[in-house]
Amino acid sequence: MENNKRPDSMKRITNETLAGAFIDEQVTLVKKQVGDKKVLLALSGGVDSSVVAALLIKAIGKNLVCVHVNHGLLRKGEPEQVVEVFRNQMNANLVYVDAIDRFLNKLEGVAEPEKKRKIIGAEFIRVFEEEARKQEGIEFLAQGTIYPDILESDGVKAHHNVGGLPEDLKFELVEPLKFLYKDEVRVVGKALGLPDGMVYRQPFPGPGLGVRCLGAITRDRLEIVRESDAILREEFAKNGLEGKVWQYFTAVPDFRSVGVKNGKRTYAYPVILRAVNTKDAMTATVENVPFELLQHITNRITGEVEGVNRVLYDLTPKPCGTIEWE
Ligand code: XMP
């Protein structure tokens, strides 16, 4: 337990100079820990796994094997960004796994939220395990554990889902960020040259868009969630809300309603917009988005996304709502 306590002497990393010193120190420590052996990392493209990847690429280059599992539930542009940043720009050893059909087939007809989460988690472990077995000579597993994960749980990053690997794949852990708070991870990520879009990314649940495509996931509604979310994000960025609002996204229910377009009756899905502020995600307030902007986003979503005829803004704080809809 003692080596899971942040050393009292450790300075808060608030600027590039302190981040640089931290990076140098960790590069030395990682090199010492793993030598010329290979390290495996599940790279989701979230802040923590991306910063671990960039740090380990600096320390051990191609001996870091990054596995990016595309489960089909990522936001628009995310898998492409992982490939662009890590394979093309950082020259990483990146294994990209297209597991979209596998996940969506497993999820077909499953409407119960906890069951959906379990299927996504279990399938993630299975895919990652298969990729791990294909790699020769792996002895270490890197994880994006950060200090709040240690304070809040038993130190295992549950939503990275690697806690469930079988015994023979229980590698020695490499956790260079385990004493850092989230703001420090972002400063280190910036210093490592990661793009702002990755470093300042808003929280995104492990099961991804799967918990925002309500009820049983269908490919058409999943596309509606992904496209409407992209429009919401684009408009928030254009209107100065990107860095201001803690979390914002869209959700799509599994029922349709009547509408009218070009003089013809439609029977299509509603899109729900959600934008909230919070400190710790235990309680949350709703962002007071300007009405004109909500109207503009509504017009864009109903005009540009196939199969949508209404847009709703969720005015419910937490409690009594939760942030996500599932
Ligand atoms: P709720 O909906 O419980 O969400 O108010 C609080 C925060 O947690 C995120 N969230 C998840 N994160 N796996 C995750 O890694 C999940 O299954 C999950 N469900 C919710 C949510 O996005 C919000 O930031």
Give the Å distance between the CA of 208 and the centre of ligand 1: 9
Q: Please give the average per-residue pLDDT across 134-162, as a whole number.
A: 80
* Percent of the chain at pLDDT exceeding 90: 93
Ligand 1 binding pocket includes 247 (Cβ within 6 Å)? yes
Ligand 1 binding pocket includes 213 (Cβ within 6 Å)? no
68: β partners = 96
Ligand 1 binding pocket includes 324 (Cβ within 6 Å)? yes
Ligand 1 binding pocket includes 208 (Cβ within 6 Å)? no
pLDDT of 162 reads 44
CA distances from 47 to 103, 235, 292 (A): 23, 22, 32
Ligand 1 binding pocket includes 205 (Cβ within 6 Å)? yes
* Cα gap 26→13, rounded to integer Å: 13
> 163: pLDDT confidence band, cut at 50, 70 and 90?
low
Q: Look at ligand 1, atom 16, and give the residue with the nearest C-alpha.
A: 205
Most ligand 1 atoms within 8 A of CB, residue of 324, 325, 326 to mutate:
324
> 153: pLDDT confidence band, cut at 50, 70 and 90?
confident
Q: Where are the alpha helices (DSSP H) in the chain?
A: 16-34, 47-60, 78-82, 100-107, 113-134, 147-152, 182-191, 196-199, 219-238, 291-304
pLDDT of 159 reads 45
Cβ atoms of 272 and 248 within 8 Å: the answer is: no
Q: Look at ligand 1, atom 11, and give the residue with the nearest C-alpha.
A: 205
Give the Å distance between the CA of 281 and the centre of ligand 1: 8
Q: Give the tens place of pLDDT for each residue, 252-287.
A: 999 999 999 999 999 999 999 999 999 999 999 999
* Cα gap 27→156, rounded to integer Å: 22
Query: Residue 278 CA: which ligand 1 atom is closest?
Result: 24
Give the Å distance between the CA of 205 and the centre of ligand 1: 5
Give the Å distance between the CA of 324 and the centre of ligand 1: 6
Ligand 1 binding pocket includes 281 (Cβ within 6 Å)? yes
Q: Please give the average per-residue pLDDT across 94-120, as a whole number.
A: 98
pLDDT of 169 reads 86
Ligand 1 binding pocket includes 87 (Cβ within 6 Å)? no
Most ligand 1 atoms within 8 A of CB, residue of 162, 182, 323 to mutate:
323
CA distances from 161 to 72, 75, 122, 129, 157 (A): 17, 19, 8, 11, 7
* Percent of the chain at pLDDT exceeding 70: 96
Query: Residue 159 CA: which ligand 1 atom is closest?
Result: 15
Whether the per-residue pLDDT at 160 is higher than 50: the answer is no
Ligand 1 binding pocket includes 321 (Cβ within 6 Å)? no
Secondary structure element (H or E) that encloses residue 141, with its range? strand 138-142
Whether the per-residue pLDDT at 161 is higher than 70: the answer is no
> 2: pLDDT confidence band, cut at 50, 70 and 90?
low
Query: Poorest-confidence range of 36-50, 156-170, 229-243, 290-304?
Result: 156-170
Q: Give the tens place of pLDDT for each residue, 201-215.
A: 999 999 999 999 999
Query: Residue 249 CA: which ligand 1 atom is closest?
Result: 22
Q: Look at ligand 1, atom 20, and give the residue with the nearest C-alpha.
A: 205
Q: Give the tens place of pLDDT for each residue, 7-66.
A: 999 999 999 999 999 999 999 999 999 999 999 999 999 999 999 999 999 999 999 999
Within 10 A of 38 (CB to CB), how many other CB atoms are there? Answer: 18
Rounded to 5 degrees, what are φ and ψ at 65? Answer: -105, 110
154: CB partners within 8 A, 6+ apart: none
